[in-house]
């Protein structure tokens, strides 16, 4: 599993990923880190995390998008990719916490994120998504 960013060919491959739900991707502000995930030369997923900007508390990181092509799920790719992203965030000197959210009804996501160290904090302000956090400091 390699982590790369900025390659137009791989970005176009990301747009062709098959997920259970269709997502529309757009332009990203500079504080968003968008990463394509691939096995050898095949793009198999996408991960985006947000680093703090001037409007955020320092050290507060969020994973906003994380998807693995449904045909490649259950093969360890998601675990390896998330581990790389978490290591990258943890290596940043200001990192204090990492947050992710998921649908409360998604038992697989709950188990997966808990196994990666995330602890549920409750529903978001809209009451639609479960928030889970890794506290680093």
Pull the structure tokens for residue 66.
Answer: 């994380």
Residues 48, 35 contacting (CB under 8 angstroms): yes
Does residue 101 sit in helix, strand or coil?
strand
- Give the strands of the sheet with 97-102, arranged side by side: 2-4, 32-39, 42-50, 60-68, 97-102, 130-135, 119-123
C-alpha 65/C-alpha 75 separation (Å) is 19
C-alpha 1/C-alpha 35 separation (Å) is 12
**pLDDT confidence bin for 32, thresholds 50/70/90:** low
**pLDDT confidence bin for 21, thresholds 50/70/90:** very low
- pLDDT for residue 72: 87
For residue 78, give Cα distances in angstroms to 19, 33, 112, 128, 130: 13, 17, 9, 23, 19
Low-confidence winner among 14-18, 40-44, 51-55, 80-84 (lowest mean pLDDT): 14-18
Q: At residue 31, does pLDDT exceed 80?
A: no
Low-confidence winner among 7-11, 14-18, 91-95, 98-102 (lowest mean pLDDT): 7-11
**pLDDT confidence bin for 47, thresholds 50/70/90:** confident
């Amino acid at each position: 599993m390699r982590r790369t960013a900025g390659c137009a060919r791989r970005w176009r491959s990301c747009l062709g990923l098959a997920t259970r739900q269709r997502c529309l991707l757009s332009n990203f502000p500079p504080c968003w880190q968008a990463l394509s995930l691939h096995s050898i030369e095949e793009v198999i997923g996408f991960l985006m995390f947000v680093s703090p900007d001037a409007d955020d508390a320092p050290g507060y990181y969020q994973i906003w998008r994380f998807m693995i092509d449904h045909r490649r799920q259950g093969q360890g790719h998601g675990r390896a990719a998330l581990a790389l992203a978490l290591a990258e965030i943890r290596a940043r000197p200001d990192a204090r916490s990492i947050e992710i959210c998921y649908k409360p009804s998604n038992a697989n996501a709950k188990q997966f994120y808990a196994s990666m160290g995330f602890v549920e904090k409750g529903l978001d302000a809209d009451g639609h998504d479960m928030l889970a956090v890794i506290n680093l400091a």
